[in-house]
Amino acid sequence: MTALCSLFAQVRHVGNASMASAGVFIRDVGHGLLEVSHNTLALVGLLAIGALFFVGGRADLRQSIEAQTLDWLQAREEARTDPAELIAASLADADAVSRATAADPKGLSHQQAAVAQWISRRYRVAPEPISRLVKEAWMVGARVDLDPTLILAIMAVESSFNPFAQSSVGAQGLMQVMTHVHDDKYEAFGGNFAAFDPVTNLRVGAQVLKECIARAGSLEAGLRFYVGASNLPDDGGYAGKVLAEQGHLRLVAGGKIVAINVAHPAPIAVQAKVDAAAAPISATAEETPQTEKVALLGKGPT
C-alpha cells in the first residue's frame, strides 16, 4: 500500500513538473514573439518613415502615387455605380448649354415675341431656337440696315428654318448661302463648317443679301440676285414668295392676327439654260419634281 502511494506521488510530481515546464516554455515563446513583433513593427515604422522622406523629395514619384491612388478610388467608385449612371456621366457636357442656339421667349420684346410665336407654330419648330433667331435678325437687321422681317422671310422660304438644309447645288443652312462662293465671309467665323451654325449662317446671309440689293438697286431685283436668277427672264416667283412672307411677318409684328396656314404664292416654273461657269448666290432648299423644278442658277455677285 505504501509503495502504491509512493508511485502515485511520483507520477503527480512528474506531471506537475511537466506542466510547469510547458508553462515556462509557452511564456518564453510568447515573450519571444512579442519581442519579435515589437522589433518588426519598429522596423516597418522606420522603413515607412524612410519611404515618406524619399517620396517627399521626389515630386514625380509623389504625383505618380497620387494618380494611381485616385485611379484606384475611381475604379472602386465605378464598381459601385449603376451602369446607366456611368454612361450618363461619360456623355455629360456642362458646356453644351453655351453652344445651344436658343433663347427664352420671355426675354424678347413684345413685337419679337409675337413674331417668334407665329413662326414657331407655322413651321412647327421649338420656340426657344426661333426666339434666338428672331432676336438675332433684329440685331443684324439694325447693323446692316435690313428689315428683320425680310431676313426671317428668306429663312422661311429658303429652308423652313432647318439649319442643316442643303440644296442639290450646294446652298447650305438657314439662308441657303452658297458656301463655296462665299467662303471668304465664313473665315471670320472659323471656316466653312460654320455655315451650319444658325447664327453664323444668318449673319453671312444678311451680308450677301445686302450686297445683292446694293448691286441690283432695288429690293425685288436684289432678291433675284440672291436666288441666282439675275440672268434669267423669270425668278420662278421667288421674290414674290419672299415678299409675301415678309408681309405676313410685318402684320404679326404689328399686332395683327395672321393665320399660320396662310399659303405662299405658288412659284412659276420656268426653263433656262445654265451657264456652267455661273456662280449661284443661293438656291431654295425645297425640292420639286424634275419637270417642274425652277432653274435659278444665274451668275450672282461673289
Residue 1's pLDDT is 63
- Is-contact 270 288, C-beta < 8 A? no
Query: CA torsion sign, 179 to 180 to 183 to 189?
Result: positive
Q: 259-262 contacts: CB < 8 A, separation 24 or more?
A: 260/118, 260/121, 260/122, 261/122
Residue 271's pLDDT is 31
Residue 7's pLDDT is 61
Residue 91's pLDDT is 79
Q: At what angle do helices 110-123 and 127-144 cross, to 10 degrees?
A: 130
Q: What is the domain extent for residue 87? A: 2-91
Same domain, 144 and 31: no
Number of Cβ within 10 Å of residue 295's Cβ equals 17
* Domains contained in the chain, number: 2
Within a domain: 262? no
Within a domain: 292? no
Residue 264's pLDDT is 58
Within a domain: 277? no
Number of Cβ within 10 Å of residue 239's Cβ equals 20
Same domain, 87 and 153: no
Same domain, 87 and 111: no
CA atoms within 13 A on the CB side of 262: 15
Looking at 69, 91, 113, the residue that finishes a domain is 91
Cell numbers describing residue 126: 421649338
Residue 225's pLDDT is 93
Residue-wise burial string across 27-53, b where 16 or more C-beta atoms lie within 10 A, e elsewhere: eeeeeeeeeeeeeeeeeeeeeeeeeee
CATH (domain of 170): 1.10.530.10
Tell me: the pLDDT tens digits for 201-238? 999 999 999 999 999 999 999 999 999 998 898 899 99
Same domain, 123 and 202: yes
| Below-50 pLDDT ranges, the chain | 265-302
Closest CA to 173 of 104, 124, 101, 225: 101
Same domain, 155 and 196: yes
Question: For residue 232, what is the DSSP state?
Answer: S
Residue 88's pLDDT is 78
Same domain, 116 and 201: yes
Residue 4's pLDDT is 60
Residue 17's pLDDT is 67
What pTM, to 2 d.p., does this model score? 0.65
Residue 14's pLDDT is 64
Same domain, 242 and 213: yes
Residue 112's pLDDT is 98
